[in-house]
Structure 1
Amino acid sequence: MASMSFSMQIAEFIAKTKANQDLVVRAITLKIDNKLVQRSPVGDAKYWKSKPPPGYTGGRFRANWQLSIGSPTAGVRDLIDKDGSATIAAHGSVISTAKAGDVIYLVNNLPYAKRIEEGWSRQAPVGVVALTVVEFRTIVDNAVNGVRDGTTASEFAQGYSTYKL
């Protein structure tokens, strides 16, 4: 069997490197998405000064995290996601298409999102985005190391819904 030419080896290396870059971007995005959604407070009426509206259920803030590539999503969603799993699962299809060089947006357009980020909620006294930004370097390092040692690729192969970062 003939050995591969040097140019073919270079082309294979480039293709693998590009695929690895995309995988790192996806791993980072998924980890940040998970952190933002799971850290988002869920309304607990027992701490409120006034009674909640009839039929109130917490989880609207979690359900309003919107992930997009290329431009930020506008508007709010009329959904409830108390545990965040539906929101994270919905983002999986977008994350699976992310590539190195893409501009990825994670936005929450609810009018009170800024107040929550400024410590308005007892459940998130330092916000959710600021805390995740502090951890960004570690998130990137873990994603790169996971791709390098092959654990990230195998976890992605199992599916986004079971991926634990």
Structure 2
Amino acid sequence: MSFKSDMARATRKIEQAHNQIVRTATIDLFSGTIRDTPVDTGRARGNWVTQVGTPAQGVIARDDTSGAAAIAEVIAKTPEGAGQETTMANSLPYIDRLEYGYSQQAPSGMVRRNLARVQRIVQAAISKFRV
């Protein structure tokens, strides 16, 4: 083994860990937001849309009381590699009201609540994939 091959192997391990950390943290953050979204008909949970690049616009016809379909979309669309911007959007006209306490089910919102724990989410992902 040469120094050059040792460095190449170490670099690959670090890149792989970085990619896994980014993907895991993104999935945890987005999934937490979906799970914290109040449920009446499931329309609000179902309208979280995940994309790579530009955020989705427009309301979709997906009622998802459990959040399973929206979370499955997060998992399916979050890239394996870092360096791509993954977005999640909800275009329902009343999503802002839900975020700011309109529902007793989520008086602290969904996005704000999960952003407040983003440091713990990232630290958990780092611990899981430590090189």
For residue 30 of structure 1, what is the aligned residue in structure 2? Answer: 27
Pairing 1:75–2:72 present = no
Check whether the contact 1:41–1:61 (CA below 8 A) recurs between aligned residues. yes
Paired AA for residue 82 in structure 2: A
Hey, what does 1:63 align to over in structure 2? 46
Counterpart amino acid of residue 141 in structure 1:
Q
Radius of gyration: which is bigger? Answer: 1
* Alignment partner of 1:89 is 2:72: yes
Distance of 2:121 and 2:47 partners within structure 1: 23
What's the Cα RMSD here? Answer: 1.2
- 1:128 alignment partner in structure 2: 110
1:16 lines up with 2:13 in the alignment: yes
| Paired amino acid for 1:103 | E
Partner of 1:105: 87
- Write the letter of the residue equivalent to 1:60: R
Q: Give 5+ residue unaligned stretches, structure 2.
A: none
- The AA in structure 2 aligned to 1:64 is N
CA distance in 2, matches of 1:136, 1:22: 17
What SS does structure 1 have at the residue aligned with 2:50?
Answer: strand
Unaligned runs of 5+ in 1: 44-57, 150-165
Q: Residue 100 of structure 1: CA displacement?
A: 2.1
1:71-104 CA-to-partner distances (Å, cap 9, x unmatched) read 1111111011111111111222212x24222222
Q: Tell me, yes or no, if the aligned pair for 2:42 and 2:63 is still in contact at 8 Å.
A: yes
Higher relative contact order (CA 8 A, sep 6+): 2
| 1:69/1:98 contact within 8 Å kept | no
Mapped to 2, the partners of 1:39 and 1:82 lie a distance apart of 11
What TM-score do the two structures reach when normalised by structure 2? 0.94
SS in structure 2 opposite 1:105?
strand
Amino acid at match of 2:20: L
Equivalence for 1:139? 121
